[in-house]
Amino acid sequence: MANGPPTPPPTTDVEIQDEARMNDTLPPAVDGTSDPAPEATSAQPPPQQSNQIQDPYGLIFPRIAELATQKRWIELIDIAEITEINANNDQKLSRLFVIVPLVLAYLIKNDLPIAKLVLERLPPDIRLNPLIKNLGLLTTSYSAGAYEQIYSNANALVNAVAKPEFQQPELAQVINIMVESFLFSFRDRTFLLLSRAYTSITLSLAEMYFGLGSSELLPVAARHGWAYDTSTKVLKPVPTNEPASFVAPAVSSLVNFNFIAQSVSQLEM
């Protein structure tokens, strides 16, 4: 077990101990199947005393956690990006403290390309980390629009950090909050999309799109005015934006004609 730092500043006490634990005994294989991963990451040398105190990722994490609780995503992204670009040694595993919330924040804001680019920044050994792998799967499935997988990957992420072996409870809490926000905003967007795209949709298909059972789905649908036919189990979405683009404007065509003829004659003058 690493030595505790001599006189750490009180606010980051917990973080430094967490970080020490992280660097020495990396998060164990959270999905149980990725045995090669621990070997790869256990090659990390134990940190020196000074590194622990200067670790920018650990130091900024309390602020990130605070912003996550308040759901201030844009500020979270700003702070995380500043930390990312100014951090000298970015091979450290504590970088996860910043990367995971950053990627989740981009997903919540539906900024998919840059979420992918952030994951691409990571060096290979961090990429093997199981937490990052889970996050990567979520991002990939989101990018592909594979609804079922999005929900299952989100759940896998939450389950992974809920296990007792995962030793960063603060990070776990932030992840829980953010995944929940992500699912909320994602379902919202899905709702708008389906209202636009479907004239009628079977209940089972809708359950797949929302990752919710019918008992949770039907009340929400009803609240938005969707009609439900119990016999055929079909939902009828109501388009939420004006159907102006579907319907020709209700103007008399003769009036239009006069209008156009008049403007043309004026052009002639």
Which residues are at the interface with another protein (CB under 8 A)? 77, 81, 84-90, 112-114, 117, 120-121, 145-146, 193, 196-202, 205, 232, 234, 241, 244-246, 248-249, 251, 259, 262-263, 266, 269
Q: Closer CB to another protein, residue 162 or residue 197?
A: 197
CB of 206 to another protein, least distance (A): 10
CB of 255 to another protein, least distance (A): 11
Coil, helix or strand at residue 228: strand
The answer for 226, left when phi > 0, alpha when psi is -120 to 50, beta otherwise, is beta
How far apart are the C-alpha atoms of 173 and 160, rounded to whole Å?
12
CB of 209 to another protein, least distance (A): 9
Q: Closer CB to another protein, residue 141 or residue 168?
A: 141
Distances (CA, A) of 192 to 143, 172, 255: 18, 30, 36
CB of 41 to another protein, least distance (A): 20
- Quote the Cα angle for 226-228-234, to 5°: 110
What would the two tokens of residue 141 be?
Answer: 């499935």
Q: Closer CB to another protein, residue 4 or residue 243?
A: 243
Q: How many CB atoms lie within 10 A of CB 128?
A: 17
Q: Closer CB to another protein, residue 35 or residue 120?
A: 120
